[in-house]
Amino acid sequence: MKETKVIIEKNSEVADSIYEATLLLDEPAQDIWAGKFLNVSVGDGSHILKRPFGISDYDAKGEKVKFCYQVRGEGTEKLSKLKCGTELMATLPLGNGFLLDKNWKKIAILAGGMGVCPFGGMGKSYPDKHFVAYLGFRNKKAECLTKRISRFADLRIVYDDEPLENAKNAVELFLNEYESENFDAILCCGPKPMFRALKNAIENRKIDIPCFVSLEERMGCGVGACLVCVCKQAKAEGNVRVCKDGPVFPISEVEL
């Protein structure tokens, strides 16, 4: 992990108020894989804190990374206006990312909304795995990264405004197929209610394969020093730092 100067190569709207930026790194980054994130400045002096985003794609040499972001507040609004050639500072790669066991062959990805972002580079990180991705979006206009994900995963998509007869969301889509698919593990990223629905289903249906969630808490430093991002442990009296200990945790180990 290191801080480096980056130059925006591309920054364009890919869905409704959702952008993807490509950054050229001044110094190549080592050890990037899916589920890791970056902290990036937003291009003016008035926002001191960098903003965290999942790495949505990267090249093999570590010279280019992409991140996909939804305009939420002032920082992302500023980012969305930045032109190609703008110089920013970024710290990357951060966090543990998705660490997949070599014996897992078939893996379910569950993502809601911007929760798809950390999965964009999964096919590069793990080209030998069979992924099935269950994705939920608000509506078709909010759909992003599905083309990229379809290159390495079988896709199932559901929209909040067009629920299917047997599934209103990505968790239900997954549960409909779980019994017949023989998955070795589950990876999930999305809003907290999605994690809770998945946790309940795992308990009720006695699903006993490993399941990991990627958390997105508000962050300060992004490197483990400020404790802004702490989250309670579920089985012990203590906290974890989402930025440094995560953002990926076994679902049973964190309070959701």
Residues in the chain: 256
Which residue of 8, 65, 68, 194 would you call a contact of ligand FAD, by CB under 6 A?
68
Coil vs helix vs strand at 87: strand
Contacts of 71 (CB under 8 A, 6+ apart): 17, 18, 19, 77, 80
**226 is a site residue for ligand FES (CB under 6 A):** yes
Nearest to ligand FES of 51, 148 (CB atom): 51
Q: Which one of ligand FAD, ligand FES, none interacts with residue 228, CB within 5 to 8 A by kind?
A: ligand FES
**53 is a site residue for ligand FAD (CB under 6 A):** yes
- To ligand FAD, the closest distance from the beta carbon of 3 in angstroms equals 17
**40 is a site residue for ligand FES (CB under 6 A):** no
Long-range contacts of the stretch 43-46 (C-beta < 8 A, 24+): 43/78, 43/79, 43/82, 43/86, 43/88, 44/78
**225 is a site residue for ligand FES (CB under 6 A):** yes
Identify which of 110, 58, 51 has the alpha carbon closest to the alpha carbon of residue 77. Answer: 51
Q: Cβ atoms within 10 A of the Cβ of 61, count?
A: 9
Which residue of 139, 227, 250, 255 would you call a contact of ligand FES, by CB under 6 A?
227
Residues 111-130 that bind ligand FAD (CB under 6 A): 114, 117
Quote the crossing angle between the two packed helices 192-204 and 170-181, to the nearest 10°.
30
**23 is a site residue for ligand FAD (CB under 6 A):** no
Binding site for ligand FES (CB under 6 A): 219-222, 224-229, 241, 243
